[in-house]
Chain A
Amino acid sequence: GENVEQHPSTLSVQEGDSAVIKCTYSDSASNYFPWYKQELGKRPQLIIDIRSNVGEKKDQRIAVTLNKTAKHFSLHITETQPEDSAVYFCAAADILTGGGNKLTFGTGTQLKVEL
């Protein structure tokens, strides 16, 4: 089955700096890569996703890049703000032939934005 590795496990940045979180996946059949944000005690919420036919996607201060050859994808947050502090999870799935579109999650990155 799919295996997703995520790094780093913790990341501390100064407000206004950029943050980058990286994930690698093992199954070349995976074609959908969402990123979830989970604030303390809350449910995970989708912040951005990317499909395998796209190399990069942006939404205001966040962007995701995908390298299918190397099987890795990254989350980029620019101009970080205190409210960006949370745990971020990457995930991967084969949503074309996978049956059930099951997500495999990484272990999460605790992002702390310091004032």
Chain B
Amino acid sequence: NAGVTQTPKFRILKIGQSMTLQCTQDMNHNYMYWYRQDPGMGLKLIYYSVGAGITDKGEVPNGYNVSRSTTEDFPLRLELAAPSQTSVYFCASRGSGGYNEQFFGPGTRLTVL
């Protein structure tokens, strides 16, 4: 199993551009999450999904959108990128059952200039 994979690894965007961060998991996990990690800070939840077709906002959803058309994929869309969105983005997934571990992807480092 590849686990949780993310693309791209690095990206530089200009202000106002848009992009999609890809996340795929091959563990048949129902739960998927997007976090952002700013320097010296913890991880903050952007959006999450409890299954295909179901998504909900986390703590910091403004400026982002998600979709979940399949169990495997959970892309994160940035519209009109702003410097405040410069961060490292982590996708994670978790199986069903109350105490299962969240498995993280390798992250995408995004810079908005």
Q: Which of A77-115 contact B (CB under 8 A)?
A: 89, 95-96, 99-108
What residue of chain B has the Cβ atom nearest to residue A31's Cβ?
B98
Q: Does B2 contact A (CB under 8 A)?
A: no
Q: Are A100 and B50 in contact (CB under 8 A)?
A: yes
Say yes or no: A49 contacts B99, CB within 8 Å: yes
Interface status of A44 (Cβ within 8 A of chain B): yes
Chain B residues, CB < 8 A from A96: 98
In the docked arrangement, what's the CA distance between A2 and B99, Å?
Answer: 18
Stretch at the interface among B15-23, B41-49, B64-72: B41-49
CB distance from B110 to the nearest CB of A (A): 15
Q: Which residue of B has the minimal Cβ distance to A50?
A: B99
A105 and B44 contact, CB distance less than 8 A:
yes
Task: Let me know if A44 and B90 touch, CB within 8 A.
Answer: yes
Q: How far is the CA of A42 from the CA of B59 in the complex (A)?
A: 23
CB-contact partner of B59 in A1, A45, A51, A106, under 8 A: A1
Tell me whether A101 and B31 are in contact (CB under 8 A). yes
Give the complex CA separation of A99 and B49 in angstroms.
10
CB distance from A94 to the nearest CB of B (A): 10
CB distance from A38 to the nearest CB of B (A): 9
The residue from A1, A89, A95 contacting B42, defined by CB atoms under 8 A apart: A89
- A107 near B50 with CB under 8 A, answer no
**In the complex, B58 has a CB within 8 A of chain A:** yes
CA distance A30 to B87 in the complex (A): 28
Q: Please determine whether B101 and A46 come into contact, CB atoms closer than 8 angstroms.
A: yes
Q: A interface vs B, CB < 8 Å?
A: 1, 4, 6, 32, 34, 42-46, 49, 51, 89, 95-96, 99-108
